Amino acid sequence: MSEFQTVAKVGDIPSGEGRAFPIGGILVAVFNTAGEYSAIRDACPHMGASLATGHVEEGCVICPWHAWRFSVTDGTWLDNPQSKLGNECYAVRVEGDEIQVCRPAEEEPQAEQTDETSPAS
């Protein structure tokens, strides 16, 4: 079952802007586009800039470092939408006056390779 975390109150994020919040060990950027809230991973996959501080217009956020554009609703890299490069997006809901974001799934730690699991030489 999905677990939602309250990150802000309605009105805390001005329309046309974003804010970053720690959720499940990562920073998530939450955007307000004309009263509709959406969330994507805050770090730009290019060089790691905070997308929450980028300029928001027409459903996209522009990375403040190198002007890469991402959809605020699905994380698509808008400069090359055919590319697999993009940003994770997260479900958002409003419960009463609380903006809530679905916690990202915890990544499974990778098992260390031992002599027993190493390929034979």
Number of domains the chain is built from? 1
Integer-rounded Cα radius of gyration of the chain: 17
Residue with tokens 């929450």: 52
Could you report the per-residue pLDDT of 54-105, keeping only the tens digit for each? 999 999 999 999 999 999 999 999 999 899 999 999 999 999 999 999 987 7
Is residue 109 situated within a structural domain?
Answer: no
Handedness of CA 14, 16, 19, 24 (dihedral sign): positive
Tell me the helices (H) and strands (E) count for the chain, helix number first. Answer: 0, 10
Q: What CATH code is carried by the domain that includes residue 84? A: 2.102.10.10
The tokens for 60 are 């996209």
The tokens for 92 are 């958002």
Is residue 112 situated within a structural domain?
Answer: no
Is residue 42 situated within a structural domain?
Answer: yes
Is residue 117 situated within a structural domain?
Answer: no
Could you report the per-residue pLDDT of 23-42, keeping only the tens digit for each? 989 999 999 999 999 999 99
Is residue 10 situated within a structural domain?
Answer: yes
Which residue would you say has higher pLDDT here, 50 or 108? 50
DSSP E strands, 34-68: 36-41, 55-57, 60-62
| 1 confidence band (pLDDT: 50, 70, 90) | low
Is residue 65 situated within a structural domain?
Answer: yes
Residue 2 has pLDDT above 80, yes or no: no
Is residue 14 situated within a structural domain?
Answer: yes
User: To 10 degrees, the CA torsion angle through 37, 38, 44, 46?
Assistant: -130
Residue 111 has pLDDT above 60, yes or no: no
Range of the domain at 59: 4-102
Determine the Cα–Cα distance for residues 50 and 64; give it in Å rounded to an integer.
8
Is residue 114 situated within a structural domain?
Answer: no
